[in-house]
Structure 1
């Protein structure tokens, strides 16, 4: 008989086979149970994630941690993640927000100076008397350059700088940009004196609602710190000399007389703006202050140090701002813009195609020429008055070519015109 057939009929073999089948069935059953349980756990985890995500959306990180039974006193959000302060607040001397404010002040305080100006004025009896003013300034270099507002130092006969340690020095005006209300001063220091320049940030990443800090000398109170938020961005603000500073930062941080020229800082202690003006009916802070973006200052500081002014581009033409009387008299098809009265013979504007007028007329105390182009757009910005042209060319330089849109005999023409250096005193403009 075949040995294999004999083994298949042997009782022990049947027992072994039954055991193996049983073990296999048990293993499969256990596998099914484990797989089913893992599916349930996965489903539970997914539901938990959904619940936690909902709590996070509604309550934020604070609500999520409190749901987990964690007592949270403060949370600080930074580039490295989220810092959480736990436990009883009696264990801490300061909250996270307070520590952040203290750190900002300690980082920037030594970079802020108190500026005292002396100018010459006349009293009611026409007697010459010294007039004292105050403001703030920002140390921007170790070799003594200080940034402030133009209106703080304009017309000053003497400038004095008071440092954080009480040391006083005389300063000189290096350069001034009235249109952006910025000026650079210089102090000559003994070799052993070391300055602490401000840490410069950028205003390009600011968000409305972000915390900002102002440090300055309001009403002569040295190194006063006020805290607020960014209330608005990109604000055009018309200054007292009728120019418009674009891109201004609006803040509700208290800015008062004496804060002018001081820094506006972010939560890292970086300067993002230069406090310059307040909107007030009483002369004090009413929750609307403005600061020049630090990026604007960075763009003009090199020119102020090198040339004493900003080398801006301009059109070498004589312009007249349109008013209803000129529009009606010349029968113009536009109500606003700058009339090109004359172009400089052989100049850049003439080479670029701009046309002046030929009809000589008396306009007030000046002689103007009608019949020329009417400028309605420059460098991509609409132009209806002088302030618009200043704004359009504020970031340009001599030698650059800009697009100028004009109305000529009722038709729109687009010209490419090379800019010249803006003349001192604006002798090419008829106001």
Structure 2
């Protein structure tokens, strides 16, 4: 047997063995990345401090629309998107949803090479440990891909630079997939190529280096995108009040007021004209230093379903639409009572 033939056989054998040794998850991951790359874009713009440049990531959800984070484009002008092949096109804000930190952009001069679709499973139903893929522009490089697992689902307990941005996300997705500056707005995909979440933040440093990636659930993002397309503002239910989980309050205080549970959420402040205000909900009393003097109404259940904490209240209320009537079970001044919320369209900001 001649040397070229022998080497050819060795190469064929190595390739065959390589294919057999490739795990199904690796094949699926590779295919997801290949399909997602044309849909993912780099978001650029000029900031007021004249330090413009690449600031984040986005992805096409329709031929002319790109989803990204609100905080990515909040203060930018002269927006552009760059495709995976290097071409650059102008873009503009179409509509924004600061409540969950989402923005929808219109791209000019090109149609999407590919689009991504959302998975609408509720966050609570997702299995921890499921495989996830991330595609974005960390530090402006890329598009680059990384992978990890769904590490958890729940509220974000750490302070953020602007608490009003993302305040209406009841439960986030957490992942150990490596991500960092520039990944905001990246799609977090399952191994079928569906968007499970939109990356919003990194807690504690770059993920994979002591940090945890945080993403807006796909179910919530999909609802927001539909609302922004149709109405220009989000239509999910809103309470119009800030909340404090009972578990955050001193147990001795709760017992003194006759509450024997830490399951529920206290109404802290009520926005004038909001559904909470119109339903007669009462906020807490605090002194000039912010110390609690008297409890506000405590929400124990929504439409008869007990709530665990403030995150669950936000999550349940978000599923209602303008015009819906929602029954709240409250604890006020030592007794149970009921109040009815009527969901209303949000004021434009």
The two structures have a TM-score, normalised by structure 2, of: 0.73
C-alpha displacement of 1:305: 2.0
Q: Which residue in the other structure is 1:414 paired with?
A: 338
Conserved 8 A contact 1:149-1:183: yes
Of 38, 42, 45, which residue of structure 2 is paired with 1:110?
Answer: 38
Conserved 8 A contact 1:342-1:356: no
Distance change in 2, residues 1:199/1:146 (3 Å): same
Conserved 8 A contact 1:236-1:244: no
Superposed CA RMSD in Å reads 4.0
Conserved 8 A contact 2:97-2:234: yes
Q: Which residue in the other structure is 2:321 paired with?
A: 397
Q: Which residue in the other structure is 1:257 paired with?
A: 181
Q: With CA pairs under 8 Å and 6+ residues apart, which has the higher RCO, 1 or 2?
A: 2
Distance change in 2, residues 1:203/1:373 (3 Å): closer
C-alpha displacement of 1:103: 1.8
Q: Which residue in the other structure is 2:65 paired with?
A: 145
Q: For residues 230 and 132 of structure 1, what CA distance do their matches in structure 2 show? A: 31
Of 207, 220, 230, which residue of structure 1 is paired with 2:140?
Answer: 220
Q: Which residue in the other structure is 2:56 paired with?
A: 135
Conserved 8 A contact 1:375-1:404: no
Q: For residues 349 and 228 of structure 1, what CA distance do their matches in structure 2 show? A: 40
Q: For residues 137 and 128 of structure 2, what CA distance do their matches in structure 1 show? A: 25
Distance change in 2, residues 1:156/1:406 (3 Å): same
Secondary structure in 2 matching 1:421: coil
Q: Which residue in the other structure is 2:88 paired with?
A: 168
Q: For residues 397 and 260 of structure 1, what CA distance do their matches in structure 2 show? A: 28
Q: Which residue in the other structure is 2:22 paired with?
A: 96
Q: For residues 339 and 260 of structure 1, what CA distance do their matches in structure 2 show? A: 31
Secondary structure in 2 matching 1:120: coil
Q: For residues 130 and 295 of structure 2, what CA distance do their matches in structure 1 show? A: 49
C-alpha displacement of 1:332: 6.4
Unaligned runs of 5+ residues in structure 1 are 1-86, 122-128, 426-431
Conserved 8 A contact 1:245-1:391: yes
Q: Which residue in the other structure is 1:374 paired with?
A: 297
* 2:115 equivalent to 1:197: yes
Unaligned runs of 5+ residues in structure 2 are 1-11
Of 115, 129, 150, which residue of structure 2 is paired with 1:209?
Answer: 129
Q: For residues 147 and 76 of structure 2, what CA distance do their matches in structure 1 show? A: 30
Conserved 8 A contact 1:255-1:289: yes
Aligned length: 314
Q: Summarize deviations over 1:258-300 as a string: whole Å, max 9, x none.
A: 1111111222222222222222246874352122221211111
Larger radius of gyration: 1
Conserved 8 A contact 1:375-1:383: no
> For 1:277-426, what aligned pairs fall within 5 Å after superposition?
277-281=201-205, 285-286=209-210, 288-314=212-238, 337-338=266-267, 354=280, 364=288, 374-377=297-300, 379=302, 380=305, 382=307, 390-423=314-347
Conserved 8 A contact 2:62-2:112: no
Q: Higher helix proportion, which one?
A: 1
Q: For residues 282 and 78 of structure 2, what CA distance do their matches in structure 1 show? A: 45
C-alpha displacement of 1:304: 1.5
Distance change in 2, residues 1:89/1:293 (3 Å): farther
C-alpha displacement of 1:348: 7.2
C-alpha displacement of 1:178: 2.0
Distance change in 2, residues 1:174/1:315 (3 Å): same
Structure 1 residues 243-252 or 370-379, which shifts more? Answer: 370-379
Conserved 8 A contact 1:376-1:383: no
Q: For residues 181 and 73 of structure 2, what CA distance do their matches in structure 1 show? A: 14
Q: For residues 135 and 251 of structure 1, what CA distance do their matches in structure 2 show? A: 18
